[in-house]
A = this chain, B = another copy of it.
Amino acid sequence: MKTQAIGELSRKTGVHIETIRYYEREGILPTPMRSPAGRRIYSDEDVRRLNFIHKCRGLGFSLKEINSLLSLVDSGDFACKEVHELTIHHAGQITEKIVDLKKMEGVLQAMAAQCNQGNVPQCPIIDSLFDA
């Protein structure tokens, strides 16, 4: 499939049609081609870009941060040192998030296991997690 309307883009990505138009207004998605009747036409590149944005939002990145990540890619002509610093900064953020999520994952799996055996877990999340 080469191009698609907004409805199909929405179905493929799980992003509401209204949100797609919102992202366009905010400049996170590029202004798409239009059909003769004025309907938006999207490419598979747009599908991938929107998937990326959607995942990032689900991971707690703001639209501003996502723009910053995307601009690493969008501009082919940039100062490499700045890109390097920005990239390292983002990677550090992401590593921290992974650490936190792994802690949560471990505690929740332990809870589920305890629960499975008919025991009531004794408040493990708050006690063992995120004290610092």
A residues neighboring B (CB under 8 Å): 45, 48-49, 51-52, 55, 57-60, 69-70, 72-73, 76, 78, 80, 83-84, 87-88, 90-91, 94-95, 97-98, 100-102, 104-105, 108-109, 111-112, 115-116, 118-121, 123-127, 129-132
What residue in chain B is nearest A50 (Cβ atoms)? B130
Q: A89–B52 Cα gap in the complex (Å)? A: 23
What residue in chain B is nearest A112 (Cβ atoms)? B87
Q: A132–B78 Cα gap in the complex (Å)? A: 29
* Extra 13 A-B pairs, beta carbons < 8 Å, given A48-B131, A80-B119, A88-B112: A51-B132, A55-B100, A57-B60, A59-B97, A70-B125, A83-B111, A83-B115, A84-B112, A91-B105, A91-B112, A95-B105, A98-B105, A101-B101
B73 touches A130 (CB 8 A): no
Cβ contacts under 8 Å, A121 to chain B = 72, 83
Q: A73-B123, A130-B55 are in contact. Are A104 and B94 (CB under 8 A)?
A: yes
The oligomer's copy count stands at 2
Interface class of chain A by DSSP: helix
Cβ contacts under 8 Å, A129 to chain B = 52
A80 touches B120 (CB 8 A): yes
Cβ contacts under 8 Å, A51 to chain B = 130-132
